[in-house]
Amino acid sequence: MRRGTYILLPLALALAGCAVANDSFSDSFLDYPRDAEAASVDWSNAETVTVALADFEFEPAQLSFHAGQAYRLQLENKGKNTHFFAAEGFFKAIATAELVTKDGSVDHPHLKEIGLAPGESKELTFVAVKKGTYALKCTAPFHEGLGMKGEITIS
């Protein structure tokens, strides 16, 4: 390893934790399931699935959902860095009801990614619609390369 690498690696890791934890929404609703698909769901039967985002992994990294089933996806940032639950293909395969954050909630969000600051939690209620396998990653700088990736399956 060259001398400059010793300086750049710690700098890159420090910058990776500096991302702002904003959620990213799509400007188009055309590729997403209709909001009405989530409106008629019995949320009292929703299954809760918890995913911890840590430095630098998703726990669990392999998620499995069933089409037609209602879920409450509880995301918890257990790390010291800002992390993102980025799975645009997955978000286009579910009908969302609500994203709940510490600042309030968003009804029927058309998401690209969910950002979480260290210690922050968010909950997404949704019904799985389109079967398939979708990539999951953290879009904070260098996090995916450090192993923060996974896979989501809807069967």
* pLDDT tens profile 50-61: 999 999 999 999
Domain of 8, in residue numbers: 3-154
Helix (H, G, I), strand (E, B) or coil at 114: strand
Residues 6+ apart with CB under 8 A from 106: 23, 98, 99
pLDDT at residue 60 in the model = 98
pLDDT in tens, 19-54: 667 775 665 655 655 666 667 788 888 999 999 999
- The first and second tokens of residue 72, run together, are 């409450």
Instruction: Give the domain CATH number at 28.
Output: 2.60.40.420
Rounded CA-CA distance 144/125 in Å is 25
What's the pTM value of the predicted model, to 2 decimals?
Answer: 0.81
- The first and second tokens of residue 54, run together, are 């840590």
pLDDT at residue 132 in the model = 98
User: What separation in angstroms does the CA of 129 have from each of 24, 92, 100?
Assistant: 21, 9, 20
Q: Write out the chain's pLDDT in tens, 155 residues.
A: 455 445 455 545 444 445 667 775 665 655 655 666 667 788 888 999 999 999 999 999 999 999 999 999 999 999 999 999 999 999 999 999 899 999 999 888 889 899 999 999 999 999 999 999 999 999 999 999 999 999 999 99
- The tally of domains found in the chain comes to 1
Instruction: Give the whole-number percent of the chain exceeding pLDDT 70.
Output: 76
